[in-house]
Amino acid sequence: MAENIYALINGMERFSKGIDAKKKLYLKLAEMAADDATDIKLFRITDKALLYEVLNCFGAALSHRKAKEDLCDIYEAALHKETGALIICNKGATLYSLSPRTHTPCITRHIGFCVYMPGLGIELVNVGLVGNVYDRNIVLRSESACTPSFIFGSQRCNCHHQWESVREVAAEFNRITPPEQKNGADFERWVQSQFEYKDGKHIAKNNGPGFVMMHIDTQNGMGSGYTDNEFAFDLFTRASMRHRGEYSSEQIKNTTMWGGFEAIGITPDPRRENNNVGYKITFTILDYLGVSKNIIFLTNNHLKMGQLKHNGYKIVRVKSVGAVNLAGAQEAEQRGTEFGHMDINGDCITFDEEIARLRSDIGRLNRGG
């Protein structure tokens, strides 16, 4: 027992020293970004020695001396000048994907992001790119994590249905026919050839309509991990446990979603706090990716739209319901009345009806109609 206690204490002390190192390196990067007189939104860390230092100190905590390959070939980093966010990500991996309901095949480019967001904490975001995201209109879904629906199939909210719906339409608009191959290695080589990473862009061989699917892992429960005047090094744990508490309070105390947040002492939808800091992650990552500024945004949240518009993106909104049944009707109604989400109430809608509408709306907008 004593051994375990000291292991925890000593580990915390080492972590504390690591925070001091992070502070010094972040200030160095911020000064370098401030000295960059260009109007480019990002200060990209291209110096190898500096990137090694960032990878060792932040995010991945990797040592280039231990790595068998050059980490600069695998990871990259930048400072977002407007927000001051430090962004670390891998250079992408190409996946053969199947849509969740119809198993329609498509090719997805997967990039993982670790974002040190000032005024908030460390955000973890998984991004999937399907089709051509650099030209014409592109479709965006920015989704906050919802463990109950994604892991346990909870129907009291429509979160997972919304995520499934964007994956369905992305695959439908970018359906591929995989080649006949004799073995897995040949098939994997074909998959990898379907995207090329060139000059910071993820270029799809398939030139179909572009989709950006952004899953914000650390924003469980509408970004419940936020604490005023603090930088949280583990937003994921904090947000998840607070969301579990909010979830319990609704039932134990027989209250609404809004009341569930207040029951545990936090502001409903903490993403709105500190000048909407929780909503800044989407445009920060879009800026990093350098995608088209013309967005078909699948959302019901006017605060998400406002952040993109304020930062130079041209938005056409398409509502995103996913599906609502009787088990989710109460929460759907409260999203509209308590949180001001648009076009969502207690009315039930099937997944198939939603897909048909999305297919029609996105198709019309991509045709310019």
Write out pLDDT tens, residues 64-88: 999 999 999 999 999 999 999 999 9
Q: Say which residues have a Cβ less than 8 Å from residue 364's Cβ, sequence separation at least 6.
A: none
Beta carbons of 139 and 209 less than 8 angstroms apart? yes
122 beta partners: 116
CA distance 143 to 320: 11
Q: What is the DSSP letter of 299?
A: -
C-alpha to C-alpha distance for 225 and 237, rounded to whole angstroms? 8
List the structure tokens of 300.
Answer: 């019901």
Is residue 319 within 8 Å of residue 354, measured between CB atoms? no
Encode pLDDT of 203-229 as tens digits. 999 999 999 999 999 999 999 999 999
Q: How confident is the model at residue 1 (pLDDT cuts 50, 70, 90)?
A: confident
- The CA-CA-CA angle for residues 343, 346, 348, to 5°, reads 90
**CA–CA separation, 358 and 80 (whole Å):** 33
pLDDT, residue 189, reads 96
Which of 92, 217, 79, 235 lies closest to 150, judged by CA? 217
pLDDT at residue 369 is higher than 80 = no
Confidence (pTM): 0.96
Q: Is 30 a residue whose pLDDT tops 90? A: yes
pLDDT of residue 179: 92
Interval 256-314: pLDDT, tens: 999 999 999 999 999 999 999 999 999 999 999 999 999 999 999 999 999 999 999 99
CA angle 348, 351, 353 (to 5 degrees): 80
Q: Give the type of residue at 166.
A: V
Q: Is the four-CA dihedral 21, 27, 33, 36 of positive or negative sign?
A: negative
Residue 317 DSSP one-character state: E
Query: What is the per-residue DSSP string for 4-56?
Result: HHHHHHHHHHHHHHHHHHHHHHHHHHHHHHHH--S--SEEE---HHHHHHHHH
In one letter, which amino acid is 99?
A: S
Sign of the CA dihedral with 202 first, then 205, 208, and 214 last: negative
What pLDDT does 51 receive? 97
Residue 132 is classified by DSSP as: B
Please write the tens of the pLDDT for every residue from 111-138.
999 999 999 999 999 999 999 999 999 9
In terms of DSSP bridges, do strands 121-130 and 105-117 run parallel, antiparallel, or are they unpaired?
Answer: antiparallel
Residue 163: the pLDDT is 97
Region class of 61: left (phi > 0), else alpha (psi between -120 and 50), else beta: left
Per-residue pLDDT at 38: 86
148-176 residue pLDDT tens: 999 999 999 999 999 999 999 999 999 99
- Would the CA dihedral through 128, 134, 135, 138 be positive or negative? positive
Residue 4: its pLDDT value, please? 86
Q: How far apart are CA 92 and CA 201, in angstroms?
A: 10
- Please report the pLDDT score of residue 182 as a whole number: 84
Question: 10: alpha, beta or left, given left = phi > 0 and alpha = psi -120 to 50?
Answer: alpha
Tokens coding 264: 């545990």
- Amino acid identity at 72: C
Q: Which domains does the chain have, with CATH numbers?
A: 1-81 (no CATH), 89-366 (3.40.50.10990)
